């Protein structure tokens, strides 16, 4: 995520170690959190964990406008140096709620949370924003679906819920213990996103409130909608919209029968196994159906189905009913030969024996010739047209690809430069030929305020005006997992295509168009790819998604996305550095693996109020062989050595350092020999010399996993 350019801060990428309080406040606001100043310990009678405002009820329902926020945290604002701040939870912060676990005091709090994960999530933590309080507890942040009002309550078992009407302190606030609130590694709002709470967590919160006093707010996702007699059977993606309960019943019964047939142990599964298997099969069901009624934007598919009475609650009741017959009807049916009943892929007619069906069709008197697919011979294949480039050697026309990197790597600047070049009909982009100009649609629901400064800086540097060029921004939130949103997007792009051909559609960022999705689930990411393909194929254009890195430095999420990418560009830049490079991680139709260095230029913009922004300028890379030519002592020259050290330092910062062991995830020798084409024995000697002279060292970067890697100590 690029920090908005409010108060000319875009030139200083967010650094949690040195960020001022006002920068923290802007970070939270850019993530849709209603951040307000708070008391310091000892400043107020009756408790200090509350807003430093005369009244704050007026701020509980919507994000305050800039006219209110700027006097607080803008340049010269009242609270720019005040450490303590917090979030007004609930509607004002996008239906935010916080689960506060006093794990350091009361074991029951940790037991409650771990029990939920064991039953509903295979014991795995939910990867959402999370902080450690100054008192030692844990606070986990979640968004609730539209219509579900998160409650606020305290319980005697060390679990507090901060929802509508609630307030939660945020980093870098100071606690009365003298310790500061701090985000867990990888769980800060600048590193990950606040996820949509899964239905089982909403149910657990509701049950917790009801069991320990207070009143849970009614959850709108539990209401039922009437069946429309004119509704279709399928949506535009081939998902069932009618007959879902019958489909669910067949899937549940077939899945339980298959489970019984495979069960080789005495007795029946325990409660945890029953819930885990149910959750697994529900995902299969959810992938085959869609909601029928319109729902609020941002509402997850799971919650939409639940709101229509065809979601997790109904599935669980049917599942439990079937499992209770484990030793009776299920056992009797499972003992029969499997007739191809319904399992994971619903088929009301049962399993089809395609071999038998084909033989019958061929033998049928008067049978019409079966429809066939086109077959291409080798000569036909050789006669096919060559790939058409949009950007020579990098982006094939009508392709799909990704630009990815960590927060602050300037990937938006790279994408925006390419987009403006296409829209304005430039002949070159980064010294590569542009073969087709056309309209560009840029989807971005974040960082819109400073987009005009970025465009102005690009114009000023390239001496080009794009005022009348076909470049269009969509700033509303779009859910690529919602069929209605995708159809609306297609209709929107069609309004542009009616005027001029579309060259490209950019999605900045991928995570912003997947609210509530699990990026590691193949089925969720397959829906995203399908939506991109719908845009790409409908308008014969390129689609490019901007995405983040995972903990290992690769592209975040399921392998579905890199597998679908025709091109993948990795952004490499040290924090605050005025240079970096892009790496062609994947290009299907040309050579990949190369790097192109760039410089970051600061552009002063004219106006009464002084603004600045950045432009990325490519630097001509020298041939690898020449740059890696042996210098003093048989080692690479100083320029190459500095490049290697810079890349090594960046890897450490991204928490994916290069390691000494050859069997590690990112072995240093392999990384350097592959990227700079230097012989392995030379690389080993180089690393040994640097270690001996204190230029680099091996340090532990993950104490829990006892993992270590190279870290730069001093510059050459």
| 3-state SS, one letter per residue, for 286-324 | HCCECCCCCCCCCCCHHHHHHHCCCCHHHHHHHHHHHHC
pLDDT(237) > 50: no
Tell me what the mean pLDDT of segment 439-457 comes to: 89
Residues 574/568, Cβ–Cβ less than 8 Å: no
pTM: 0.48
Residues 640/676, Cβ–Cβ less than 8 Å: yes
Q: What percent of the chain has pLDDT over 70?
A: 85
pLDDT(677) > 60: yes
Q: What is the pLDDT of residue 517?
A: 78
Q: What is the pLDDT of residue 422?
A: 97
Tell me what the mean pLDDT of segment 257-262 comes to: 85
Residue 236's pLDDT band (boundaries 50, 70, 90)? Answer: very low
Q: What is the pLDDT of residue 171?
A: 94
Residues 575/646, Cβ–Cβ less than 8 Å: no
Query: How large is the angle between the packed helices 312-323 and 244-262, nearest 10 degrees?
Result: 40
Tell me what the mean pLDDT of segment 330-352 comes to: 58
Least trusted range by pLDDT, from 24-33, 535-544, 607-616, 622-631: 622-631
Closest to 194 (Cα-Cα) out of 55, 97, 318, 332: 97
pLDDT(9) > 70: no
Q: What is the pLDDT of residue 596?
A: 87
pLDDT(192) > 70: yes
How many whole angstroms separate alpha carbon 614 and alpha carbon 601? 6
All structural domains of the chain: 6-218 (no CATH), 244-334 (no CATH), 389-618 (3.40.50.300), 624-712 (1.10.10)
pLDDT(468) > 50: yes
Q: What is the pLDDT of residue 633?
A: 53
Q: What is the pLDDT of residue 246?
A: 77
Tell me what the mean pLDDT of segment 661-679 comes to: 73
Any residues with CB less than 8 A from the CB of 133 and at least 6 apart, and which? Answer: 100, 139, 169, 175, 181
How many whole angstroms separate alpha carbon 489 and alpha carbon 443? 10
* CA 155 vs CA 97, 113, 204, 216, 403: distances in Å: 16, 14, 14, 13, 45
Tell me what the mean pLDDT of segment 500-522 comes to: 89
| pLDDT tens digits along 270-279 | 888 888 888 8
Instruction: Give the alpha-carbon dihedral of 446, 452, 453, 456, to 10 degrees.
Output: 140
pLDDT(358) > 60: yes
Q: Which residue has the higher pLDDT, 341 or 294?
A: 294
How many whole angstroms separate alpha carbon 160 and alpha carbon 105? 13
How many whole angstroms separate alpha carbon 295 and alpha carbon 303? 9
- Supply the mean pLDDT for the chain: 82
Closest to 442 (Cα-Cα) out of 411, 404, 415: 415
Residue 242 backbone dihedrals phi, psi, to 5 degrees: -120, 160
| pLDDT tens digits along 116-125 | 888 887 778 8
Tell me what the mean pLDDT of segment 491-497 comes to: 94
Tell me what the mean pLDDT of segment 346-370 comes to: 60
Least trusted range by pLDDT, from 161-170, 174-183, 206-215, 229-238: 229-238
Tell me what the mean pLDDT of segment 634-656 comes to: 82
Q: What is the pLDDT of residue 470?
A: 97
Residues 180/174, Cβ–Cβ less than 8 Å: yes
How many whole angstroms separate alpha carbon 689 and alpha carbon 691? 5
Q: Which residue has the higher pLDDT, 511 or 213?
A: 511
| pLDDT tens digits along 71-116 | 999 988 889 989 999 999 999 999 999 999 987 777 778 888 988 8
Residues 595/581, Cβ–Cβ less than 8 Å: yes
Residues 449/5, Cβ–Cβ less than 8 Å: yes
pLDDT(309) > 90: no
Tell me what the mean pLDDT of segment 362-373 comes to: 71
What are the beta bridge partners of residue 353? none
Q: What is the pLDDT of residue 526?
A: 85
Q: What is the pLDDT of residue 34?
A: 95
pLDDT(224) > 50: no
How many whole angstroms separate alpha carbon 180 and alpha carbon 665? 34
């Amino acid at each position: 995520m690029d920090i908005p350019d409010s108060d000319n801060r875009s030139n200083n990428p967010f650094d949690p170690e040195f960020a001022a309080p006002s920068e923290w406040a802007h970070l939270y606001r850019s993530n849709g959190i209603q951040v307000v100043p708070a008391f310091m310990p000892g400043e107020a009678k009756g408790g200090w964990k509350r807003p430093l405002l005369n009244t704050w009820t007026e701020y509980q329902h919507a994000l305050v406008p800039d006219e209110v926020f700027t006097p607080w945290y803008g340049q010269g604002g009242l609270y720019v140096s005040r450490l303590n701040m917090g979030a007004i939870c609930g509607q004002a912060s996008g239906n935010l709620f916080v689960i506060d676990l006093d794990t350091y005091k009361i074991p029951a709090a940790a037991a409650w949370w771990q029990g939920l994960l064991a039953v509903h999530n295979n014991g795995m933590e939910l990867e959402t924003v999370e902080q450690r309080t100054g008192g030692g507890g844990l606070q986990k942040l979640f968004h609730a679906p539209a219509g579900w009002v998160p409650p606020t309550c305290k319980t005697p078992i060390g679990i507090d819920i901060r929802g509508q009407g609630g307030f939660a302190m945020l980093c870098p606030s100071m606690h009365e213990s003298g310790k500061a609130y701090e985000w867990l590694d990888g769980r800060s709002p600048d590193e990950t996103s606040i996820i949509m709470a899964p239905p089982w967590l909403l149910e657990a919160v509701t049950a917790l409130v009801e069991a320990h006093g207070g009143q849970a707010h009614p959850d709108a996702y539990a209401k039922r909608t009437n069946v429309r007699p004119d509704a279709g059977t399928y949506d535009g993606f081939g998902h069932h919209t009618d007959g879902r309960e019958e489909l669910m019943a067949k899937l549940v019964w077939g899945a339980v029968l298959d489970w019984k047939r495979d069960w080789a142990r005495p007795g029946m599964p325990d409660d945890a196994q029953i819930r885990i298997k149910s959750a697994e099969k529900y995902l299969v069901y959810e992938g085959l159906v869609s909601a029928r009624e319109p729902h609020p934007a941002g509402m997850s598919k799971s919650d939409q189905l639940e709101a229509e009475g065809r979601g997790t609650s109904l599935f669980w009741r049917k599942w439990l009913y079937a499992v209770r017959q484990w030793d009776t009807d299920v056992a009797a049916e499972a003992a029969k030969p499997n007739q191809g009943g319904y399992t994971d892929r619903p088929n009301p007619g049962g399993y089809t024996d395609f071999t038998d069906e084909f033989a019958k069709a061929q033998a049928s008197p008067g049978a019409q010739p079966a429809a066939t697919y086109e077959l291409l011979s080798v000569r036909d294949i050789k006669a096919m047209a060559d790939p058409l480039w949009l950007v020579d050697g990098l982006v094939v026309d009508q392709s799909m690809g990704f630009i990815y990197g960590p927060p602050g790597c300037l990937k938006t600047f790279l994408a925006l430069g390419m987009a403006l070049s296409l829209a304005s009909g430039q002949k070159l982009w980064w010294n590569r030929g542009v073969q087709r100009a056309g309209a560009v649609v840029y989807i971005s629901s974040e960082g819109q305020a400073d987009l005009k400064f970025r465009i102005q800086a690009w114009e000023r540097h390239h001496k080009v005006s794009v005022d009348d060029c076909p470049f269009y921004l969509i700033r509303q939130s779009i859910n690529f997992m919602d069929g209605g949103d995708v159809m609306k997007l297609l209709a929107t792009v069609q309004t542009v295509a009616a005027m001029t051909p579309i060259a490209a559609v950019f999605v900045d960022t991928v995570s912003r168009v997947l609210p509530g999705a699990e990026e590691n689930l193949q089925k969720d990411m397959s829906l995203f790819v399908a939506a991109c393909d719908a845009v790409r194929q409908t308008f014969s254009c390129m689609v490019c998604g901007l995405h983040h890195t995972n903990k290992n430095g690769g592209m975040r999420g399921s392998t579905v996305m890199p597998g679908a990418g025709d091109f993948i560009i990795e952004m490499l830049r040290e924090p605050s550095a005025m240079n970096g490079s892009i790496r062609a991680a994947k290009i299907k139709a040309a050579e990949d693996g190369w790097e192109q260095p760039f410089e970051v230029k600061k552009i002063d913009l004219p106006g009464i109020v002084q603004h600045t922004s950045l432009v990325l300028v490519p630097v001509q890379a020298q041939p690898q062989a020449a740059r890696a030519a042996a210098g003093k002592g048989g080692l690479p020259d100083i320029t190459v050595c500095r490049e290697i050290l810079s890349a090594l330092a960046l890897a450490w910062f991204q928490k994916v350092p290069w390691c000494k062991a050859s069997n590690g995830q990112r072995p240093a020798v392999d990384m350097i020999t592959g990227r700079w084409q230097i012989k392995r024995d030379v690389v080993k000697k180089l690393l040994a010399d640097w270690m001996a002279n204190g230029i680099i060292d091996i340090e532990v970067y993950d104490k829990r996993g006892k993992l270590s890697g190279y870290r730069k100590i001093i510059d050459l």
